[in-house]
Amino acid sequence: MKILANDGISQNGIDALEAAGFEVLNIKVAQNQLESYINENGIDAVLVRSATEIRQELLEACPGIKLIGRGGVGMDNIDVQYAEDQGIHVINTPAASSSAVAELVFAHLFGLARFLHQANREMPLEGDTRFNDLKKMYAEGIELRGKTLGLIGFGRIGQETAKIALGIGMNVIATDIFIEKATITLDFFNGQKVNFNIDTVSKEEVFKEADFISIHTPSTEKYLIDEKEIQQMKPGVGIINTARGGVLNEVALVNAIEDGKVLFAGLDVFEKEPTPEMQLLMNPELSLTPHTGAATKEAQDRIGTELASQIIALLR
């Protein structure tokens, strides 16, 4: 059987699949060429991340597809229901990238709290001539310890984010429409463990109490955080979105930053990918990454291994 890893797969995933007798084509085919490539090469399974879309039209035109694999959590780039109705296996790797995304949340938070995103722009340009001015400019950083982190969505990634927050001494509150409570276990290097029981609250309470808010939800049809929700937040709040573009109204965010309601924000996802709005790219109060939440070597190794094991179980 042939597998097209259109958005890539780690070498350990390739090795496992090839050892099981699968042929893996780890190449990138343009979206508008997928149909012909899949049919001409007899592709049985397609593996994607967030870049490639697998829509009904493609599946109708490629009847040989037996499996679609998503390296990651969200599957909004796949017409899952239609695929499953046609008897096509649709799999993902919900646990593999959780810690990678959670660490990126705090990469943004630590950087924003201490102006690293700005200092790293200014120091190469003026560090030798305006050192003392820059020192004064970035001298009012914020410590995260003792602050409250609000989580919008308390699934696997939200809970991994909570672990880091608790580990550095933050208070954690969370809201989730499906989860009422969760036990967060901190595992330490010497074998010790500490459990924290967290009951979820209303999103209004999160907006009211949180010093920083991190979003961890699937895609939504309308904005989850719009102007109304931002106005419910604390003055000087920080917002991090590593979930999906479109859950946060970017125009309302920029306006709130300009008004002083929002102190800063970190964005890994955007409403318009791969061409984010210029007003976001040029805003000095934003810390930006190009949708790299799961892009660590370790996470990609876990994703490759998990995809391979599921494919072998389903198709061999």
Facing residues of 184 across strands?
A: 196
SS3 at position 312: helix
| CA-to-CA dists, residue 234 to 84, 110, 212, angstroms | 44, 19, 9
Catalytic residue among 23, 35, 205, 273: 273
| CA-to-CA dists, residue 143 to 162, 170, 195, 208, 261, angstroms | 17, 10, 24, 20, 19
Question: Residues 204-207: contacts with CB within 8 Å, 24+ apart?
Answer: 204/232, 205/173, 205/175, 206/150, 206/151, 206/152, 206/173, 206/174, 206/175, 207/150, 207/232, 207/233
Can you list the alpha helix ranges (DSSP code H) found in 79-195? 80-85, 98-113, 116-126, 131-137, 156-167
Whose tokens are 């201490």? That residue is: 114
Is 114 considered catalytic here? no
User: Burial letters for 227-237: b for 16+ Cβ neighbours within 10 Å, e otherwise?
Assistant: eebbeebbeeb
8: left (phi over 0), alpha (psi -120 to 50) or beta: left
Residue 198 is classified by DSSP as E
Q: In whole angstroms, give the CA distance from residue 272 to residue 262.
A: 22
Is 273 considered catalytic here? yes
User: Burial letters for 146-173: b for 16+ Cβ neighbours within 10 Å, e otherwise?
Assistant: ebbbbbbbbbbbbbbbbbbbbeeebebb
Catalytic residue among 108, 156, 216, 291: 291
Token pair, residue 214, equals 């991190």
Q: In whole angstroms, give the CA distance from residue 261 to residue 256.
A: 5
Q: How many CB atoms are located within 10 Å of the residue 121 CB? A: 11
Catalytic residue among 244, 250, 302, 306: 244
Which are the catalytic amino acids?
A: 244, 273, 291
